[in-house]
Amino acid sequence: MIGIFDSGVGGMTVARAIEKNLPGRRLVYFGDLARTPYGSKSARTIRKYALENSEFLLQKGAEIIVIACNSAASVASGMLRDKLPVPVFEVVTPAVRQVVSMGSRGRIGIIGTRATIKSQIYEDKIKKLRPDFQVFGQPCPLLVPLVEEGWLNKRETKMIIRRYLHSLKLKNIDTLVLGCTHYPLLKKLIQSRIGRQIRVIDSSRAIAAELAVFLQKHPNLVKILSSAGENEYYVSDVTEAAQATAERIFGRRINLQLRQGKDNA
Ligand code: DGL
């Protein structure tokens, strides 16, 4: 079973991409809605939550962990790889590999939460592979709440996107990374604002593609990955907005189950 966690329902963009790339594999998802957002929290707190979320997924039978939250991937992936007894994947590295593997003039924009941009994870990873590239980060803290409110095509959302992307436009970037799980839902608006000629990389799709390749190369792991049974979607709080966002992402009814634990026993 593939265990996926995020700070909320945004990581379902990753779950959906994995579902498409790996049909028939069983998924268990956990969205930490009671403690979202992670993007404005300290690295220490995000690491603590990431470990708790992973332990929950392991209890549910996860044989692989996917960190489907850029903020958690930015600050907690090393720690989780050290502590967990299963392979750990995260959304940042595959997106970085896409950035460097496709033709680029080396002017890269990254948009994400404050935690992701502050960690400079994308910049560090890109520069390790391509020291000649220039990377420009732009935190976009208002976009997550707009997605959660379902304001996907409102005038206000367009205005805020325009404001956030303005400095990246001035930097004359040729590639833009959507470094947050919620942003794929705004991809059309972002693409039209930044310009059709700019390559937009969706970190959710990048991880799904990389996981599929990894499993092809590790048939032994595929044998033990259980696939029987329904996918399960757990959250630490159930709200109507989350239910609506989940259904918007999957395009079907999703049964959000409340995780039973100390915070909601
Ligand atoms: N899932 C988070 C991310 O990708 C966005 C929401 C949050 O700030 O918790 O960074």
- Give the domain extent around 248: 2-90+205-258
CA-wise closest residue to 85 among 69, 104, 61, 103: 61
Which among 67, 96, 161, 180 is annotated as catalytic? 180
98 and 192 belong to one structural domain = yes
C-beta of residue 199 within 8 angstroms of C-beta of residue 102:
yes
197 and 211 belong to one structural domain = no
Helix, strand or coil, per DSSP, at residue 102? coil
What is the rounded average pLDDT of the residues 227-245?
Answer: 90
Q: Which of 182, 203, 224 is the last residue of a domain?
A: 203
Q: pLDDT > 90: what percent of the chain?
A: 81
183 and 234 belong to one structural domain = no
Cβ neighbourhood burial of 27 (10 Å; 0-12, 13-18, 19+):
buried
**How many whole angstroms separate alpha carbon 206 and alpha carbon 95?**
5
182 and 239 belong to one structural domain = no
Cβ neighbourhood burial of 152 (10 Å; 0-12, 13-18, 19+):
middle
The reply to whether 147 falls in a domain is yes
115 Cα to the center of ligand 1, angstroms: 9
105 and 76 belong to one structural domain = no
What is the rounded average pLDDT of the residues 91-111?
Answer: 93
The reply to whether 263 falls in a domain is no
The reply to whether 265 falls in a domain is no
Q: Which of 203, 231, 250 is the last residue of a domain?
A: 203
Query: What pLDDT is recorded for position 32?
Result: 97
The reply to whether 179 falls in a domain is yes
Q: Which of 203, 225, 248 is the last residue of a domain?
A: 203
Query: What pLDDT is recorded for position 265?
Result: 42
CATH number where 124 lies: 3.40.50.1860
Say if residue 226's pLDDT is above 80: no
Mean pLDDT of the chain: 93
Residues with CB under 6 A from ligand 1: 6-8, 10-11, 36-39, 69-71, 112-113, 116, 144, 180-182
181 and 112 belong to one structural domain = yes
155 and 238 belong to one structural domain = no
Number of domains in the chain: 2
228 Cα to the center of ligand 1, angstroms: 30
DSSP 206-264: HHHHHHHHHHHH-HHHHHHS---S--EEEESS--HHHHHHHHHHHSS---EEEPPSTTT
- The pTM score is 0.93
pLDDT digits (tens, 9 = 90+) for 37-89: 999 899 999 999 999 999 999 999 999 999 999 999 999 999 999 999 999 99
